[in-house]
Structure 1
Amino acid sequence: MGMQEDIRRLMDLEAIRDLARRYAHCVWIKDPAGAAALFVEDCVMDTGGPDPIHGREALIAVYRNAFGQSDFQPFVHNHVIELADDRATGVCYLDLRAAIDGRSMIGAGYYHDVYIRRPDGWKFKSRQLTLAYLVPLAEGWVGR
């Protein structure tokens, strides 16, 4: 691999890491449109609920509802990325603090992502959230 390819690879890796950070930022500041703009139009988001969410407009509606009822403070880290030209896959770990139904919550898990390069940069094609736990802070996660 030549220097130009090395530089492009490093730039792609950093752009994908930044995509995950921007998503977390949009969740923190309760910006449904900003979060959805990080996805391609025909995206899929699977949060572990009954049905995956298909498309940006559906994402915006789900985020508006969730952000109106709860506060989420995600921290993303330990990003592992596999590049393949204009596609990539990755795993991004999540530590979560939240206020849900008047309770302080703590959670941890990871996202399994598929990314696609578009003319305006890297976007999420899909995100699948796997939570190891999401429990009341007072209860803790031991024994889960």
Structure 2
Amino acid sequence: MSNLESIVDRFEIEALRSEFTDAGMMYDYDRLASLFTEDGVYRIPDVNIEQVGREQIRAGSERLKGQWDYFVQTTHPGTIQLQGDTAVGRAYVSELIRLRDGSSYLNYAVFHDRYQRTEGGWKFAERVFEVRYLDTTPLAGSAPQAADAKAQAQNDPTSSPK
């Protein structure tokens, strides 16, 4: 593999990781599932989640969204080790999550990845989310759209009293 091919592969894998974060933040679960191979696996061992195949990954991601008041994920580049048409790597993650039940999570984690080159470009063969730090202290902030909706409801004379 030439140095230029290696650079292109690394760039494409980094773009794949960025697409994952963007698809999750934009609640685009079809796109998120398409980032995996047909038999790709997404795991979150700390909460016993294992989704195998695009349909399970899509459905599981949509179920999670139904629990969130808001979700913010930032991913930072990590390592990539190319091995021909496969690669392994890590990416570093921080998340802010507030669930509809009022519980909150701030975590710092690592994605442990296996990548596969396909006809459609690089895809995740496996993505494992390992939490390294978790803080469940209630988050002080709020999602602007949630705050706006609450304010509108309080100012709407036709709404029921809160």
Q: Shorter chain as normaliser: what TM range?
A: 0.7 to 0.9
| 1:37 match | 34
Of 40, 54, 64, the residue aligned with 2:52 is 54
TM-score, normalised to structure 2, is 0.78
Percent sequence identity over matched residues? 29
Structure with max Cα Rg: 2
Contact 1:90 1:113 in 2 (8 A): yes
Kept in 2: contact 1:78–1:93 (CA 8 A):
yes
Contiguous gaps of at least 5 residues in structure 2:
140-162
- What SS class does the counterpart of residue 27 from structure 2 fall into? coil
Checking the alignment, whether the CA contact within 8 Å between 2:14 and 2:77 is kept in structure 1 is no
Query: How far does the alpha carbon of each residue in 1:44-76 deviate from its partner, in whole angstroms, 9 at most, with x for none?
Result: 111123242111101111111101211321111
RMSD: 1.6
Structure with more strand by fraction: 1
- 1:63 and 1:135 mapped to 2: Cα distance? 22
Counterparts of residues 97-108 of structure 1 (less than 5 Å): 97-100=96-99, 101-108=101-108
The reply to whether residue 118 of structure 1 matches residue 124 of structure 2 is no
- Conserved 8 A contact 2:21-2:75: yes
CA contact (8 A) 1:17 1:79 kept: no
Displacement after TM superposition at 1:97 (Å): 1.4
* Structure with a larger share of its residues in helix: 2
Amino acid at match of 1:12: D
> Unaligned stretches of 5+ in structure 1?
140-144
Corresponding pairs, count: 136
| Aligned partners of 1:91 and 1:110 also within 8 Å | yes
